[in-house]
Amino acid sequence: MKIETFEMERLQSLWENVVECDLSESGTRAVSLRELVDWGFDLASLMSTPLGYSQTNGTIALRESIARMYPGASADHIMVTNGSSEANYLVYAALLENDGHVAFETPNYLQTKGLGTYWSGRPVEAFRLRFDASWEPDWEEFERAVRPGCKLVYVTNPNNPTGKVLSNAARERIVRRCEQAGAWLLSDEVYIGSEIDRPQTQTLYGTSERVVVVSGLSKAFGIPGVRIGWLVGPPWLAAEAWRLHDYTTIGPGKLSDAIATFAVREDIREKLFERTRRIVREQLPLVQAFAQDSGGKLEFNTPDATAMAFMRWRGSGTSAEICKRLLEKRSTLVVDGKLLGLDGFIRLWSGAPRDKLVEGLRRFSEELRQPVR
């Protein structure tokens, strides 16, 4: 079986560096190396560092620093990867065989839909988050999907693309059901730290022996370019992921490991998270005003976190058609909700550089005013 094409990633790969206004991303505008140096990153000491191989599962210093973010974890529970996407890949490869299906929250980051089908040998079973219930799960669909025979359940919390944070009751229900079904729960937590007007989201790690967490520097940390992610799970799973990692990228870059070790320090981590929250709080009102001025063509539930707005399309034609018009006529890239598992919606990047966001919203507004031919 060949793995299916990851359509959203392919769309971005083709166009994000070509269009004039890229509003397709999902983190905040990236931190510069100068900002990290201003906060105390010792770049000068690295200038004479030989650029050889680093520790392939992450240096002990980095893994120990990451472990402090998760109650009860040690360096042996951590596997450092090249981005959280690779962490997802390794978890699926380590846990899945042809002996069960994957249950998948939707809308979501569809990398793991393709991985679930590929590694389990059968289609994933989705359970929806409901727009009309402020993005709470459809519990009937959840119960049908997460049953005996389910091997793994994938959620993003905070959710990509809705920005929804699971309620305490929802967290407990999901964990309890996974334990009853004998399923692993994979919690993708790359957006923890991007909360808008609420306390920082608690990790699901430690709520059950069957919970595995993936995260990384790309989203709430605002450092996607160093390509550092990680998984947190039982030591045997971290070791198995390390074994499989020898067949993929082997290890993270030496400079990336050093930057990550600095970034995950508690004091620096909080500075990075506050930077992200500030950007989101300042720019979300621009998107809210844009939606309010759309003449009823766009509506969305205000996100709890993340630098995205996932808007329901209420205009003429399909969401795919308006996304295509924006790309072809306005050189503006947004993501059709179908590529995130929910047709009729549009994902827009509220964490873009402010000038690009303002210009992209202007172009989007102009296109909304055009008659549909």
Give the pLDDT confidence of 42-77 residue by residue, as tens digits. 999 999 999 999 999 999 999 999 999 999 999 999
pLDDT computed for residue 255 by the predictor:
96
Is the model's pLDDT at 181 over the cut of 90?
A: yes
Is the model's pLDDT at 99 over the cut of 90?
A: no
What mean pLDDT is predicted for residues 224-251?
97
Say how many C-beta atoms besides its own lie within 10 A of residue 281's C-beta.
Answer: 11
The DSSP call for residue 97 is -
What mean pLDDT is predicted for residues 285-310?
97
Q: Where are the beta strands (DSSP E) in the chain?
A: 21-22, 78-81, 101-106, 125-130, 136-137, 150-156, 184-188, 211-216, 229-232, 298-299, 308-313, 332-333, 335-336, 345-349
Mapped onto helix, strand or coil, the DSSP state of residue 40 is: coil
Is the model's pLDDT at 175 over the cut of 90?
A: yes
Is the model's pLDDT at 373 over the cut of 80?
A: no
pLDDT computed for residue 1 by the predictor:
78
pTM of the model: 0.96
**Which domains, from first to last, does the chain contain?**
7-32+270-367 (3.90.1150.10), 47-268 (3.40.640.10)
Is the model's pLDDT at 372 over the cut of 80?
A: no
